[in-house]
């Protein structure tokens, strides 16, 4: 009796270990490290854009310090994703045009670095939403323009 009980619990523990191993494997199935790195950066772009965009939509909530911080973050991070697009095996949700039309892709990434630097400059002395609106609009356009040509959308 005692023995069969402990045998049973050994089995179920063993079962759990196998399950964990299987789930662990599933969780690790291949996201190329470059894809993960650039998607993580892009997600952070999304968070920063959401915070700033929220203030643009509701000017009463404008907080110059927070805006400044987010604009500086975006300007710094604007340099970082592009080296993670060099490996043609790292497809992710990038369209083939990233590589077949690489000159355009790089031009988009350079324009993005320019407009985020401009937003950062304006944000450092801005006191109202009106001050940052045009520069923020240019950044939003840059995200969209690149995504239109180079990011696979869910419904593509």
In whole angstroms, give the CA distance from residue 50 to residue 151.
Answer: 19
Locus of tokens 């050994």? 10
Site membership for ligand HEC, residue 45 (CB under 6 A): yes
Site membership for ligand HEC, residue 93 (CB under 6 A): yes
Residue choice 39, 80, 101, 104 for contact with ligand HEC (CB under 6 A)? 39
| DSSP letter (8 states) at residue 29 | S
28 annotated ligand-binding residue: no
Site membership for ligand HEC, residue 139 (CB under 6 A): yes
Identify the CA nearest to 51 among candidates 72, 31, 21, 20: 72
Residues contributing to the site for ligand HEC (CB under 6 A):
35, 38-39, 42-43, 45-46, 49, 92-94, 98, 108-109, 112, 139, 142-143, 146-147, 150-151
């Amino acid at each position: 009796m005692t023995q069969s009980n402990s045998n049973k619990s050994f089995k179920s523990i063993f079962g759990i270990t196998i399950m964990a191993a299987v789930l662990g494997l599933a969780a690790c199935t291949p996201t190329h490290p470059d894809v993960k790195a650039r998607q993580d950066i892009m997600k952070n772009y999304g968070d920063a854009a959401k915070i700033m965009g929220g203030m643009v939509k509701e000017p009463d909530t404008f907080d110059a310090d927070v805006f400044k911080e987010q604009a500086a973050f975006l300007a710094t991070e604007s340099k970082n994703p592009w080296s993670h697009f060099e490996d043609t095996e790292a497809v992710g949700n990038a369209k083939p045009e990233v590589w077949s039309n690489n000159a355009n892709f790089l031009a988009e990434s350079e324009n993005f670095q320019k407009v985020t630097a401009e937003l950062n400059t304006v944000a450092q002395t801005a006191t109202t939403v009106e001050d940052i609106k045009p520069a923020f609009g240019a950044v939003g356009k840059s995200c969209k323009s690149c995504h239109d040509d180079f990011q696979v959308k869910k419904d593509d």
